[in-house]
A and B are shown apart, each in its own frame.
Chain A
Amino acid sequence: MSTLKTLNGNQTIAEAVRQIDPDVVAAYPITPSTAIVETIAKFRADGLISGEFVCPESEHSAMSVCIGAASAGGRVMTATASQGLALMWEMLYIAAGLRLPIVAAIANRSLSAPINIHGDHSDTMGARDSGWIQIYSEGCQEAYDNFIQAFRIAEHLDVRTPVLVGLDGFIISHSLEVIQVEDDAKVKKFVGEYKPVYPLFDTDRKMTVGPIDFTDYYFEHKRSQIEGIENAPPVIEAVGKEFGKTFGREYGFFEEYRMDDAETCIVVMSSAAGTCKDAIDELRSEGKKIGLLKPRVFRPFPHQKIAEALKKTKAVAVLDRSSSPGAFGAPLFTEIRSALYDYQERPPIVNYVYGLGGRDIMVEHFKDVAQKLEKIAETGKVEEWLGYINLRE
């Protein structure tokens, strides 16, 4: 039976893990994702899950255990954040290169130095070229829903690519929300049985997995890996629709909020989108024609769809919760600006970096952005393409 429960983001992930009961969970604690790992350990101790829980000595080994386990032939997940994901970096590429459908919950957190435990997207953005599919969540309900869908996407035979689901550290991982927890059996059925592809356990095959490629084969193998993530969009779409049919909450590549007649638009991902919606409501009541576009899927990046949604607006602000020092804009900005390049008619676009190390972003900050957008829309000019929100300078 579907029930309402008051859970924080970490608990919603753990709850989904209990329902899905992956065959192997291998994870190492780090704030703010620790509670996911602890809760799974307790589920195992209490016999609520029958999969194997491995608590390795580092995140590098956690991802290596995931890789061994997934290659062996079963469903695998992990959870981490920040330095933990950074320590996994080498193995993220290998998981993707070996086409292993591992699912990771990431309680997004800043990267050292300086050390800081709070939420931003530096960790997953640092892994954006690793070959993993990336899905971001606005709140606990989305984290739960995204995590369940992640297995279907990762394991789809046309995709076979690992998926990470981001939930903002503390802001989501530690905040209580009343969420709809779906029926155990229904979730299990939605995720379905795991179908191994070339499992090591088929020992009669005597496979060699992960051999060395020289210049004569590496490029082709990489190309075929890229095909996996290129095949993902229709799968992500179909899984999002089916999820909607089954549980009443449908998902696409992004959410448009009051975008119908919007002249200006703020693009922002994850938890900040919730605050942004409040700001938009207030601005709308003042007669401003502004809307929000909240990307959900960052990899594969839905460039055409986003460009279509934005091309008619008069000004766009892209808000990034990470920085890319020395680059022409932070990650989300560069994607969107580049996506609009092919359109004759395209809005001026500006980048704001916000919320590093968990710094708050509030309604008035979005209103400031809206004001600046209004000016850009009027003049058609971007005076400063990059700004920082709520920063003492």
Chain B
Amino acid sequence: MAKLKDLASMEDRLVAGHGLCLGCGIPLIFKMVLRATEDPLIIANATGCLEVCTTIFPRTSWNVTWIHSAFENAAATIAGVEAMYKSLKRKGRIPKDKKIKFLGVGGDGGTYDIGLQALSGAVERGHDIVYVCYDNNAYANTGGQRSSATPFGASATTSPEGSQSPGKLQWRKDLTKILVAHNIPYAAQSSPHRWQDLYNKAKKAFETEGPAFLNVLCFCPTEWKYDESQGIRLAQLAADTCIWPLYEVESGKYKVNYKPKEKKPVLEWLKPQGRFRHLFKEENAPILEEFQKQVDRDWEELLKLESF
């Protein structure tokens, strides 16, 4: 087990000076993920908050080799880097003992939506890559439009609540399970409030031969609309309400890594967030009820999958 003291003494690969919002979950996630390997690393980053806020030319916050090419193709870009690595190793132009790790990263927009095809293709082809999605439930960089990861009932700028609408009408896409369905060796869900969980999963992902996928819940004070000091508490609540279960699937075997002793009502997670404020109007009570039911169903299903 890694000790926080040891991790703290490691050099940051994503350093200060970036323009991410105060209280943003992104740097927390990536500072931890990037500690999980000490090998040379190449990152392909999809367009989004992480990319834009860390690389405003001529400055960069990346203390590691990094490339951005477009929004929907981080997986294809890193696959290309990995393909070249294989080729040059075979041709003897990269020394046999030089090991490089390959990491694709994107937000939920760049992963669940526009980049899903490229990710599906890359993992299906079996590239030896890790892909980390930071899921902040919205297209945050462009001002908080809905994505297929935006929760049911949330108000986003392209699924706004109004007199005729209670916000987003669709349930979230279950991306982690979609990746599991690709029969990749490792897929997991994590969250930054459990640093040990995140570190362990990232480490496993880097050590996996072949494609590994990590979906990390990323709190976003700007688009979730809450007091920015409360991010970690909200991440904890997402796990305690079972809205964002922490689990991993290794070679098809499910393991739920965190089971709350007492499952909290979803209201506790929804309440502090401005994007759900309208749900607490009387007429939207059925939406809240539906929300709770769906979370319960998903949780039961996950426990069943684990017991197989």
Name the residue on B nearest A21 (C-beta).
Answer: B91
- Give the chain B neighbours of A54 by CB distance below 8 A: 79-80, 83, 125
A-contacting 9-mer, from B40-48, B206-214, B215-223: B40-48
B93 to chain A, nearest CB (A): 8
Per the 8 Å Cβ criterion, residues 197-211 of A in contact with B are 200-201, 203-211
Interface pair B57/A73, CB less than 8 Å apart: no
B-contacting 9-mer, from A56-64, A334-342, A352-360: A56-64
| A interface secondary structure, majority | mixed
Complex alpha-carbon distance, A50 and B52, angstroms: 38
B16 to chain A, nearest CB (A): 15
Interface pair A203/B65, CB less than 8 Å apart: yes
Return the contact of B83 from the options A65, A205, A211, A213 (Cβ within 8 A): A65
Given known A23-B91, A54-B79, contact A201–B100 (CB-CB < 8 A) = yes
Name the residue on B nearest A98 (C-beta).
Answer: B69
Q: Is B176 an interface residue (CB 8 A)?
A: no
- Give the chain B neighbours of A212 by CB distance below 8 A: 51-52, 55-57, 68
Interface string of A32-76 (1 = CB under 8 A from B): 000000000000000000111011111011001111111111101
Given known A200-B81, A212-B51, contact A23–B66 (CB-CB < 8 A) = no
- Give the chain B neighbours of A71 by CB distance below 8 A: 67, 80-81
Interface string of B55-81 (1 = CB under 8 A from A): 111101011111111101100111111
A-B contact count, CB below 8 Å?
Answer: 164
B residues contacting the other copy or chain, number (CB 8 A):
47
- Give the chain A neighbours of B122 by CB distance below 8 A: 56, 61
Return the contact of B76 from the options A65, A72, A73, A200 (Cβ within 8 A): A65
Interface pair B80/A66, CB less than 8 Å apart: yes
- Give the chain A neighbours of B85 by CB distance below 8 A: 72, 201
A132 to chain B, nearest CB (A): 16
Interface string of A246-258 (1 = CB under 8 A from B): 0000000000000
Interface pair B80/A200, CB less than 8 Å apart: no
A-contacting 9-mer, from B27-35, B113-121, B157-165, B253-261: B113-121
Q: Is B178 an interface residue (CB 8 A)?
A: no
- Give the chain A neighbours of B120 by CB distance below 8 A: 57
A279 to chain B, nearest CB (A): 46
Complex alpha-carbon distance, A56 and B72, angstroms: 14
Given known A203-B41, A206-B64, A211-B57, contact A26–B121 (CB-CB < 8 A) = no
A and B contact pairs by CB, cutoff 8 A, 18 listed: A54-B125, A56-B118, A61-B121, A64-B80, A65-B79, A67-B69, A67-B80, A69-B84, A72-B84, A74-B87, A76-B84, A201-B94, A203-B41, A203-B65, A206-B64, A207-B66, A213-B57, A217-B58
Interface residues of A (CB under 8 A from B): 23-24, 26, 50-52, 54-58, 60-61, 64-74, 76, 90-91, 94, 98, 200-201, 203-214, 217
Q: Beyond A57-B120, A61-B121, A68-B76, list 8 extra A-B contacts (CB 8 Å).
A: A23-B87, A57-B124, A61-B76, A68-B81, A68-B84, A200-B81, A207-B65, A207-B66
